[in-house]
Every structure is written in C-alpha cells, then in structure tokens.
Amino acid sequence: MIKQEFFIEEQKVLTFFIENFDIEDSEPFIEQKDNLKFIESYKINSETENIDFDEITEGFLEIEHRKNPFADYSSNLKEFIVLDKKEFFNEYNDLYPEKRELFFKLSEFVKEWSNFDLGKSPFSLFNTLVFTPKRIKLKMKLNKNNQNNVDIFPNFDFYNTNEESFIIRAIFKFNDEIVYSILDKFLKNEQNFTLECKKEWNSLDIEVFEVSKIIFARYNCKFTRSISLNLSIKSKSINKEINIPKKNVKKTITLERTSDIENLIVGEKTNFSNLISQYHQEKKIKTKLATLKDFVFLGTDEKQKGLEKFENIIEMNFSELWIFDPYFIDINQGKDMIDSILTILSKNIDIKKNIVFESKQNITFENFKKGSNKLVELLNKHKEPINFKFYGTTEHFHDRFIFLVNKINIKGYIIGTSMNSFGENYSTLYKIPELFEWEVFSTLKNNLLKPENIEIDESL
C-alpha cells in the first residue's frame, strides 16, 4: 500500500492510499515547494490507519474518469468525505478570492506528484481517497486487414486472480449512436484476439468483467493512435514524517490494509442527501473554476495585481498584440502605469505590438513620446527594437480591448478602464466569448483604422 499526503504549511489537506502495489521497503519521501509539502510512504505490512470523515462514497472508475490518477488502469475508489470545506469555500461554495491563487498552486502540485486532478474534483479537498487499481491492461489497435475490426492485446501480468476466463463487452458507436455491440469470453492466457464489427463506427466503449465484477473500462476510444500509456504514479524517497492534528469531524474509521477495497466494513449509514447536494455543488464550482482565470476584479490600489495579470496574458504564443484604448497616451493620468505596461510589452520582442488610441487636441503623441523617451532608450539599449506601432484615430470609441492574434487563433479581453489607471480604483478585465472575438476585433480594426480616420501612424 502506498500512502500519499499533501500539506499546506503543517495542515494536511489531502490523502491518498493506493493498494495492489507491492513495493520493497523504502524510506519515506518528502517534497517541499514553498508552503506546500508532499509525503509518500510505503505500507508493506498489514497496518491500520485512522481516518476521520463525515460520509463515504465508493464506486468504480473507468480509465478516463476525472478522479482516476492511473493512465493504464481502471480502479475502485472509496472516498472518505469531510463536508466542512469552509477554509477554502464560502457559504455559496465559491472559492474565497484570497484563496484562489493558493488553490491553483496546490492543484498543480497535487497533479505533479500524484496525477490527481484536484481542479476537476475540488471538493475532494480534505478528503481521504483509497484507490484499488485493477492492474489489467488492454492494448487496442485497428486490425490491419479490416479497419472496422479491433485487435485486443490483454495483459494480466500484475493482476492476481484464479479465474481463467473473462467477459468482454464492446459497444461500437458512430457519432455517439450505438451501431453494434459484442459480448464475448476470452481466456487469461490469450495473447490477442479480434473484435469484429459489421458496421462503420468512430468510437468504442470497452468493459471487462471477472465473473460479474467489472475490472476494466474505457469509454469513447478514438483510434487516432494506439492506446498504450504508462502508469503515472510517481515514487521517490523522504526522510521524515509529519504529525498533523486531526480535523474535527463526526466519525472515525480504522482502515485495514486489504487485497480489495470492497472488504472495508463501514458501520455507519451514509446520508445520501448530503452526498447528492455536495455533488451538485462541486459541479457548479468546477464550472466556475474553469472560467475563473478569464476574469479579474481589482479593488483600489491593486495596480501590481493588474500588471501581473497583464503579463500573464502577454506571455501567450501569438504573433500580434492589439490594444484599443482611447486614453493610452495620456501620461498625465498615469505615466508610471504606462511605463510599466510598455516594459512588460517590450519583454516579448517577437510579437508585433499595435496600440490604437483616440486622437485628441489636448493629448498629443509628441508629449507621449517625450514622456516615454528615456524608457524607450533604456529598453532599446540592450535589446532589439521593441516593435511598437501607434495609431491615432479620429473615430470616437469608449470601451478598452486587448487582442492577441495569429493566423489561426485569437484571444480577446475587455478592460473596464484605461490602461493608465488599471488597478487604481475598482476595475475589471474579462475574456470575450470565443464566438464573438473575431467579430469584435475585425469591427474595431476595420472602422477605427479607416485611412480617412488615421491622424497618427508612428513607431517606437
């Protein structure tokens, strides 16, 4: 049994037990990254673990399931759930704004060392998950002689069983509609066999049963390449244990090392209303987390946070940047902020940077160049030209936009204030929906940059 634990400071926030892996005795391993810590230890002998929990769920994970950390194996899962998540989530089940950066950092750390995607299962935080992977592999590839048939190569080398035959169920689908199905037996010692389909199909569901118990499942297989991946459980060595105080929860269970997760006996009755409620809440927060990076809200005096977000956007791999901001050259309103933005933009010398502003009598480009002259000289001193193009248009426009463009893709953002005051006093930056990005960009560019509207066309 492998035990994996994750900590923030000295507080345990996630625990995994992985059965069916017999590893030789080894010293525990520890990995530290800032305030995050990972400990992996090996339980070879029969041992017990005390687990605090509120509710329990258990089931079977197919290979692509969001909670399955194994690349090759399906797995049973028993999850001991702690319902109290309020250290990270408020009463509306949203991440506290001040916890967002830490949560994303933790998610990346957990993914790196366990291959578990916490971002897809955020309510697993503070839980204990016991995995019992079914170590049977199925390599599948299209038959050379008939592309409608699939050759199966089973591998039971690491799967302990006395059974000699297994049942396989294959469901062939075309655009998610079932067109053909097969239910058949195969022998454990068979090196390969073929599933013959009499219809055209473009995806395949595969399940394998040992007697009546499912031991392998993979759904929506697309045969663009051979399905043969490596197990993604990482193992290292550490030198010390960490003692963590128990969370204050309702129930405690002693977990014994077993050969199968189904042998764990739990006396308490599960409250399914709690689990159903938490499932729907987690579904909502997953959707919110997926879009969280596309929206930034800045309070007062948060210019540094605004610059960091702006820098993250500019690091994307595009050939052109377009900023539409009527007051971009108004250095009287925020010269330091504009200097910081120009500095960030100049870091990527390969991207062509286009700034479109509104030409106004009281705000001249000459004053902007004089005010930015020392910065531009400094930026050019040890680098290639910083590749800026400025367009002054007589066409009036109000909202501010950022676009990153290449030949095949575009990303667009709306800014709630001019760049010279971004982060100064309650402002937002949010991504334009993909459906409208090209439309908004082309409309702005075609109208604001009509030849008759251009008064200034200069480079820095």
Give the separation between CA 170 and CA 192, rounded to whole angstroms.
Answer: 15
**Distance, first Cα to last Cα, the chain:** 62
**Amino acid 274: pLDDT:** 66
Give the separation between CA 302 and CA 425, rounded to whole angstroms.
Answer: 8
Q: Which CATH superfamily hosts domain 137-221?
A: Immunoglobulins (2.60.40.10)
Cβ–Cβ under 8 Å, residues 79 and 56: yes
How crowded is the C-beta side of 280, counted as CA atoms within 13 Å? Answer: 6
Give the separation between CA 228 and CA 419, rounded to whole angstroms.
Answer: 49
Question: Which residues, given as ranges, of the chain have pLDDT below 50?
Answer: 46, 225-249, 256-269
**Amino acid 183: pLDDT:** 94
**Amino acid 28: pLDDT:** 86
**Amino acid 243: pLDDT:** 33
**Amino acid 423: pLDDT:** 81
The structure tokens listed for 129 are 């998950």
Report pTM: 0.63
Domain ranges of the chain: 2-133+236-292, 137-221, 295-459
**Amino acid 24: pLDDT:** 62
- Fold identical between 137-221 and 295-459? no
Give one word for 126, left, alpha or beta, with left for phi > 0 and alpha for psi -120 to 50. left
**Amino acid 22: pLDDT:** 67
The structure tokens listed for 266 are 């739990």
- Measure Cα distances from 374 to 247, 294, 337, 352, 369 in Å: 57, 34, 15, 21, 9
**Amino acid 43: pLDDT:** 73
Give the separation between CA 112 and CA 37, rounded to whole angstroms.
Answer: 12
**Amino acid 238: pLDDT:** 30
* CATH number for the domain formed by residue range(s) 295-459: 3.30.870.10
Residues whose CB falls within 8 Å of the CB of residue 328, separated by 6 or more in sequence, listed in order:
338, 355, 357, 418, 419, 420
**Amino acid 27: pLDDT:** 81
**Where would I find the beta strands (DSSP E) of 325-431?**
352-358, 388-393, 400-405, 410-415, 427-431
Residues whose CB falls within 8 Å of the CB of residue 378, separated by 6 or more in sequence, listed in order:
none
Give the separation between CA 422 and CA 178, rounded to whole angstroms.
Answer: 53
**Amino acid 443: pLDDT:** 94
